[in-house]
Amino acid sequence: MNKRINFEDTIFILTVRIKMIKDLLRLDVDTGLFYRQTAGDMEFINSILDIMTEKFLANLKFLDRELEGDNLLDTEWQFSQLLNELSNNNCPYSQVNFTETLAWIEKLKTSSSKRRKQLEESSISVNHSTAEPVVSNAELNGLLGSP
């Protein structure tokens, strides 16, 4: 597997896949025909978000770290909204139609919540570490020879 991930393009693809599943929920289709594929797509999105979060948290030197973190958090939020929609009793994939759906969705919600918390904590710690000046004003004045 390629060790370098293009976050922008990967997030775009995940967002399109999430939208596709949301659109599928609004159509009047036989859910039995699409259940396995939808479950597979949800697992795929979840696993890619796991990989992206891991890579993001491991690399503190992204050029656009704040922007990529925001985009990743936004995609995670969209995924969690889709999970909420899937767990709604009015959804064609709800536990009323498929008993295993509830446990499956709860597992995905737990993963999503964990990633979101990690990303938010990473964002806070990076903001705190960059907020403190490396050199105080007095030291800077002393270095530059200013009185």
DSSP state of 135: S
Q: What is the pTM of this model?
A: 0.77
Q: What is the CB-side half-sphere exposure of residue 8 using CA atoms within 13 A?
A: 6
Task: Give the CATH number of the domain where residue 48 resides.
Answer: 1.20.1050
Q: In this predicted model, what pLDDT tens digit does every residue of 81-137 receive, in sequence order?
A: 999 998 887 777 765 556 778 888 999 999 999 999 998 888 765 554 444 556 666
**18 band by pLDDT with thresholds 50, 70 and 90:** very high
Boundaries of domain holding 64: 7-144
With respect to residue 83, please indicate whether it lies within any of the assigned structural domains. yes
| Distance separating alpha carbons of residues 20 and 30, to the nearest angstrom | 16
- Residue 64 has phi, psi (to 5 degrees) of -115, 55
With respect to residue 2, please indicate whether it lies within any of the assigned structural domains. no
> Sign of torsion, CA 61 67 70 74?
negative
With respect to residue 1, please indicate whether it lies within any of the assigned structural domains. no
Q: What percent of the chain has pLDDT over 70?
A: 78
| Overall number of domains in the chain | 1
With respect to residue 38, please indicate whether it lies within any of the assigned structural domains. yes
